[in-house]
């Protein structure tokens, strides 16, 4: 039986890195239990019996999230986001077909021999694999060979093999004013001032919850030309609220998160 909700944050020698310090303090203030674990080992030393556990921190690989989940379970806790949901939320090939109408045109290719037909007349694409890219400046390809080279570099930076992986080619468009939203059970939580971006985020949240059953996700929305577009869907753990330095926004996020999760588990 769940008796409380604990948020765990990554730390080194019990010291939180700057992005998580404010969130740690505010989440404790609004009513969460909090705990700092060693991010280099993922070890959990605290008794988490009957606690629903939410991870907030840097993006983890699927293998590391599995390890962290097992460590939480060994101390009696239950992860709010199960491993299978974490994996699905971070998989481009899992969500793109469902949300295609909201985002830039993209192609997911497992047979690399098919790449030639996409590169015509000097057309370029933003290249990533099913999980990540090399960043905006290092991910542009003008040919099949360049796309494969970028893909291989992504794999070289990964310490595990990503199942059912492939090359994702995404249309290149100019984006600005990107904002990250968080959704629980198809509903956006927290405070957002741009009504147009919020409206699109709400549509994405409802669709992905209804069709894929993902209960906790992040949604990145940006402006392109005359409209807003979906840039990416991801796991719930990574935040960029610290960039804005808006402590009120962080507090509203954690208040909404606490209320939403309490309703789900019946606390």
- Residues 6 or more apart from 117 whose CB is under 8 A from it? none
Supply the DSSP symbol for 190.
Answer: S
Distance CA 108, CA 128 (A): 9
Is it the case that residue 243 has pLDDT exceeding 70? no
Cα-to-chain-centroid distance, residue 99: 16
Q: Do domains 1-80+243-267 and 82-102+175-236 have the same CATH topology?
A: no
Two tokens, residue 159: 């310490």
CATH topology of domain 82-102+175-236: D-amino Acid Aminotransferase; Chain A, domain 1 (3.30.470)
pLDDT value at residue 226:
79
pLDDT value at residue 149:
96
The residues spanned by each domain of the chain are 1-80+243-267, 82-102+175-236, 105-170
- Mean pLDDT, residues 227-244: 78
Two tokens, residue 24: 């740690």
Longest dimension (CA), the chain: 61
Distance CA 163, CA 118 (A): 24
Q: Given this structure, which CATH class describes domain 1-80+243-267?
A: alpha beta
Is pTM beyond 0.85? Reply is yes
pLDDT value at residue 244:
52
pLDDT value at residue 103:
95
Distance CA 207, CA 6 (A): 28
Q: What is the band of 241 on the pLDDT scale with cuts at 50, 70, 90?
A: low
- Mean pLDDT, residues 15-33: 90
- Mean pLDDT, residues 233-247: 71
pLDDT value at residue 109:
95
* % of the chain beyond a pLDDT of 70: 97
Segment among 27-31, 118-122, 169-173, 211-215 with least mean pLDDT: 118-122
Is it the case that residue 94 has pLDDT exceeding 80? yes
pLDDT value at residue 17:
75
Contact predicate 51/24, CB 8 Å: no
- Residues 6 or more apart from 197 whose CB is under 8 A from it? 177, 179, 181, 221, 223, 228
Is it the case that residue 242 has pLDDT exceeding 60? no
Contact predicate 160/67, CB 8 Å: no
Segment among 83-92, 183-192, 194-203, 229-238 with least mean pLDDT: 229-238
Segment 191-213, tens digit of pLDDT: 888 899 999 999 999 999 999 99
Taken in order 5, 11, 16, 22, is the CA torsion positive or negative? negative
Strands 51-55 and 78-79: parallel
């Amino acid at each position: 039986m769940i008796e409380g909700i604990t948020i765990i944050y990554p730390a080194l020698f019990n010291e939180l890195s700057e992005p998580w310090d404010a969130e740690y303090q505010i989440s404790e203030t609004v009513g969460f239990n909090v705990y700092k674990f060693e991010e280099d080992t993922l070890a959990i030393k605290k008794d988490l019996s009957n606690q629903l556990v939410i991870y907030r921190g840097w993006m983890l690989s699927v293998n590391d999230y599995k390890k962290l989940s097992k460590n939480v379970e060994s101390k009696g806790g239950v992860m709010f986001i199960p491993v299978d949901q974490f994996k699905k939320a971070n998989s481009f090939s899992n969500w793109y077909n469902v949300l295609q109408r909201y985002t830039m045109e993209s192609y997911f290719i497992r047979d690399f021999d098919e790449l030639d037909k996409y590169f015509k007349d000097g057309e370029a694409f933003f290249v990533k694999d099913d999980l990540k890219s090399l960043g905006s400046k290092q991910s542009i390809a003008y040919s099949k060979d360049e796309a494969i080279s970028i893909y291989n570099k992504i794999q070289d930076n990964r310490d595990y093999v990503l199942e059912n992986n492939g090359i994702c080619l995404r249309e290149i468009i100019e984006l600005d004013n990107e904002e990250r939203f968080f959704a629980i059970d198809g509903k956006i939580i927290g405070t957002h001032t741009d009504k147009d971006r919020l409206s699109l985020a709400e549509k994405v949240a409802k669709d992905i919850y209804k069709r894929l059953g993902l209960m906790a996700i992040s949604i990145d929305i940006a402006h392109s030309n005359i409209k807003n577009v979906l840039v990416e869907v991801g796991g719930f753990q990574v935040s960029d609220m610290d960039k804005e330095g808006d402590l009120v926004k962080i507090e509203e996020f954690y208040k909404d998160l606490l209320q939403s999760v309490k309703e789900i588990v019946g606390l």
